[in-house]
Chains A and B, each alone.
Chain A
Amino acid sequence: MYIEGRRVGVENALIPARAAPPPASRLAWNRLDLLWVVVGVALLGAGMLKSQGAFSYRWDWSSVWPYFVKTDSLTGQWAPNLLLQGLMTTLRLALWGMLMATLVGLIMGWMRNHARLLFRMVASGYVMTVRNIPPVVFVFIFVYFISNQFMPLLALDQRVNALPVEVQSFLSVLFGPMELINNFFLGLVCLSVFSGAYVTEIVRAGLNSVPRGQAEAARSLGMTNLDIMIRVVWPQALRNVLPSLTGQFIQLIKDSSLVSLVSIQELSFMAQDVQVSTQRVFEVFVLTAVIYFFICFSLSQVFAHLERRHGREH
């Protein structure tokens, strides 16, 4: 007999009309695929015809690759060259930037939802200002206007030079070469303040996602405000928005390319430098795009995998 178009035996006659949902349709390779391949090749061909001489470009990766990893002339060993150093700076900026941005975001997010209007106004003023001006303009204003107020006060390079050499080499693993510490710190604070506005909104969404009953129940149990915050509300809020925070981390890696416009020596800045020195525009920019893509894409896949695993445990 037939049920739902499938041949089943008599013993299955007791299966109700809609026994199980039909299996997910597995897409077979079909003529549409062929159509898309043809369209793609046609577009590529048209592009090649229209471009004169672009594909006669002599690709020369050998002059660009030494800028990634070089054979050091002094020691003869493999050493990171400009692009790899820029990449390390980008990663350091992203990691420390995310930490600082989370700190800023936590404080501002708490203020955003506060009972007092003053705190709400300060936090929403900060968020609205930072989120509504272009990132490029924000970077310029911050670096040339605001940073001049506090960078001389910190006098980081002088403090760092006063430290013993071992401490300096340890710090240089975390923060990059010590002679660029001012440069690095400036980029770090700029990115943190910029990302902090977005983290604030994420934290706010997280705090709003925790049911009010949690805080009320905790208060009725006699917990102090601080305890409620630290033990009840915030752990739940942050767990809820962890996907958004990881997304913001990946966004921060991309935003770090903006600080190259103010001569912070990260990957995009080094790419421009190398492009100027070698005149190899194609190779340098393609290599840079591939590096960014590789990092951001793998991170997003890793985070998605972690979320799936974590979600399954619940």
Chain B
Amino acid sequence: MNFNRRLFALGLAFFCSFSLVPFAQAQQDNLIDTIKKRGKLQVGFASFVPWAMRDKQGNWVGFEIDVSNKVAQDLGVRLELIPTAWDAIIPSLIAGKFDVIIGGLTITPQRQEQVDFTTPYSTSGQGVAASKQLAANLKWPEGYNSPNVTFTCRRGVAGCKTVEEKWPKATLRQFDDDAIAFQEVINGNAHAVISSEPKPSFFAIRHSDKLFKPTNENIVNTFEGFGLRKGNPAGLAGFNDWINKNQAWLKQRHQYWFRTQDWAGLVPSI
């Protein structure tokens, strides 16, 4: 009986000790200072061609990787890349698994409730690639607004909301990954896929026998920013500062990754 009582008291004390330890999450000091003190910048992102992808050697390459490398270099710290499932990227940021999201995070009002965005560092658009087999006879864009039409998207991208707003009657299937969403349309299981440019264009060219672009304009023009936890205005100002100083470099990098295919030799087949 004594032993059990001691065990119970021990267990209770163990649990209570957790509530006494100050949680380091709700920090109000400057994020940039914290990063510099730690000596490491932790960046959350997801694999998205050509924002971030694996090359033949297994290293991460892409527009976001270049940006993250430069930010870390300019801050004088090491870079730690933390690939995360896209639909969990904002909860992971809030949970403190990394400092900042540099991963093509489109600025949307819903996301602004959860995270703080910096000024835009790149601009992109959403595009649609449609299946020749299923959607060749559909009128753009009204024909797509029917329950028989299936759109696919990657879970968590801003394009999913766009489909819900512009084509509310269509069925939307969400996948863990962009490539799978595109594969659905290529296989003829869905009518169209929405994704960030230049992916729909790339895929429409590469699979021109199965895919086509119903329109060459962007459905929606989007801006991307770094995502930071709320409540850190000093950190936000620091990152905004960096973006403003490096606008020319950002434009040049964006041009390289998005408008040219010069990097195609690095990765296997895209």
Nearest B residue (CB) for A155: B24
Min Cβ gap A153→B in Å is 6
Q: Are A152 and B179 in contact (CB under 8 A)?
A: no
B131 / chain A contacts, CB cutoff of 8 Å: none
Q: How far is the CA of A152 from the CA of B24 in the complex (A)?
A: 7
Report B168-187 CB contacts with A as 1/0, cut-off 8 Å: 00000000111100010000
Q: Are B88 and A262 in contact (CB under 8 A)?
A: yes
Report A68-107 CB contacts with B as 1/0, cut-off 8 Å: 0010110000000110010000000000000000000000
Q: How far is the CA of A73 from the CA of B179 in the complex (A)?
A: 27
Q: Are B183 and A273 in contact (CB under 8 A)?
A: no
Nearest A residue (CB) for B3: A225
Q: How far is the CA of A276 from the CA of B49 in the complex (A)?
A: 9
Min Cβ gap A92→B in Å is 18
Interface size counted on chain B using CB atoms at 8 A: 37
A70-B56, A276-B47, A279-B270 are known contacts. Are A148 and B88 too (CB-CB below 8 A)?
A: no
Partner of A73, one of B21, B57, B88, B267: B57
Nearest B residue (CB) for A278: B268
Min Cβ gap A69→B in Å is 11
Chain A CB within 8 A of B54 CB: yes
Q: Are B88 and A144 in contact (CB under 8 A)?
A: yes
Report B96-111 CB contacts with A as 1/0, cut-off 8 Å: 1100000000000000
Q: How far is the CA of A272 from the CA of B180 in the complex (A)?
A: 10
Which of B21, B24, B179, B270 has the most chain A CB atoms inside 10 A of its CB?
B179
Q: Are A158 and B38 in contact (CB under 8 A)?
A: yes
A152-B24, A158-B38 are known contacts. Are A118 and B8 too (CB-CB below 8 A)?
A: yes
Q: Are A116 and B88 in contact (CB under 8 A)?
A: no
Q: How far is the CA of A63 from the CA of B56 in the complex (A)?
A: 9
Q: How far is the CA of A116 from the CA of B4 in the complex (A)?
A: 9
Report B220-254 CB contacts with A as 1/0, cut-off 8 Å: 00000000000000000000000000000000000
A118 / chain B contacts, CB cutoff of 8 Å: 8
Min Cβ gap A202→B in Å is 23
Q: Are B88 and A66 in contact (CB under 8 A)?
A: no
A149 / chain B contacts, CB cutoff of 8 Å: 18
Q: Are A70 and B58 in contact (CB under 8 A)?
A: yes
A152 / chain B contacts, CB cutoff of 8 Å: 23-25, 96
A194 / chain B contacts, CB cutoff of 8 Å: none
Nearest A residue (CB) for B18: A149
Chain B CB within 8 A of A263 CB: yes
A153 / chain B contacts, CB cutoff of 8 Å: 18, 21
Min Cβ gap B36→A in Å is 15
Which segment, of B79-87, B139-147, B156-164, faces chain A?
A: B79-87
B268 / chain A contacts, CB cutoff of 8 Å: 63, 277-279
Nearest B residue (CB) for A153: B21
Min Cβ gap B164→A in Å is 23
Partner of B85, one of A148, A263, A275: A263
Q: Are A277 and B54 in contact (CB under 8 A)?
A: yes
Q: Are B80 and A179 in contact (CB under 8 A)?
A: yes
B82 / chain A contacts, CB cutoff of 8 Å: 183
Chain A CB within 8 A of B91 CB: yes
A residues adjacent to B (C-beta < 8 A)? 63, 66-67, 70, 72-73, 81-82, 85, 116, 118-119, 144, 148-150, 152-153, 157-158, 179, 182-183, 261-263, 265, 272-281
Sample (22) of A-B pairs whose CB atoms are under 8 Å apart: A63-B268, A63-B269, A66-B56, A82-B54, A82-B58, A118-B8, A144-B88, A144-B95, A149-B18, A150-B18, A152-B25, A263-B83, A265-B83, A274-B54, A275-B179, A276-B47, A276-B49, A276-B179, A277-B55, A277-B270, A278-B268, A279-B268
B residues adjacent to A (C-beta < 8 A)? 4, 8, 18, 21, 23-25, 38, 40, 47, 49, 53-58, 80, 82-85, 88, 91-92, 95-97, 176-179, 183, 267-270
- Top 10 closest pairs, chain A to chain B, by CB: A276-B179, A278-B268, A148-B95, A82-B58, A81-B58, A277-B54, A263-B84, A63-B268, A263-B85, A279-B269
> Other CB < 8 Å A-B pairs besides A261-B176, A275-B179, A277-B268, 14 of them?
A70-B58, A73-B57, A81-B57, A81-B58, A152-B25, A158-B38, A182-B97, A265-B83, A273-B47, A273-B54, A277-B53, A277-B54, A279-B270, A280-B269
